[in-house]
Amino acid sequence: MADGPSLRGKSAYFVLAWAILALDQWSKWLVEEHLPVLASQPVIPGLLSFTHVRNTGVAFGLFAAHGDAFRTWALAGVGCLALAVVMVYFHRTPREDRLLLTSLGLVLGGAVGNLLDRIAAGAVTDFVDVYVGTYHWHTFNVADSAITVGLLLMAWDALRPRTATAQTAGRETDQAAETA
C-alpha cells in the first residue's frame, strides 16, 4: 500500500534512511578496500582507531555464525523480520510525529545496511574501535550507530510526556488514514 495516506508526507524520513544506508555502505567499502582484516589505523591515539573486523553475529558479536550457513541465514531471517516490524511501525506512525519517524528512519537505514552485508557476505564489516587505555568498546559501524541513536530517540519519545492535544491529534490522524 505504497500509495496509502499513511506514507504521504514521510519522504524526508525515507531520504534519511537512504542517506544512512549510503554512508554505511560507502564507509564499509572504504575500510574493506584500504584496511586488511584485523588491521588497525589509529585516528585519535588512546581513544579511536579504525579496525577492520568481520562480525558474523549480531550486536556485540552475539550468536556468531562462524561460517555456519544455517546460522547466517537464520540471522538474516531475523533481520528481515525486524525490518518488517520497523516498516509496519513506520507506516502506522502519524506524519506529525517527527521524532518517532526520524528514529525509525535511522533504524531503517542502519538495519538495511547490516542486512545487505549479512546476505551478500555472511558477515558485517565493523571498523569503529573506541577505547580508553586497554578497555575497548565493541567495534561497530555507521549502521550500528544509526540503529543505536534511533532506538535511543524512540525510547525518549516513548517516555516523554504528551500533551492531551498531541494525543488527540495523533488519534484523529490515524482515524483519517484508516477511512481514506
For 131: left if phi > 0, alpha if psi spans -120 to 50, otherwise beta; the answer is beta
User: What CA–CA distances, in Å, run from 106 to 17, 109, 122?
Assistant: 6, 5, 23
Catalytic residue among 24, 117, 126, 157: 126
CA distance 26 to 21: 8
Q: Which of 143, 141, 129, 144 is nearest to 39 (CA)?
A: 129
Concerning whether 68 is annotated as a catalytic residue, the answer is no
CA 28, CA 25: separation in Å to the nearest integer? 5
Nearest Cα neighbor of 56 from 133, 7, 119 is: 119
24 belongs to the catalytic site: no
Q: Which one from 24, 117, 129, 144 is the annotated catalytic residue? A: 144
Calculate the CA dihedral of residues 89, 95, 100, 101 and round it to 10 degrees: 80
Cα 162 from chain centre: 26
Q: Which residues are catalytic?
A: 126, 144
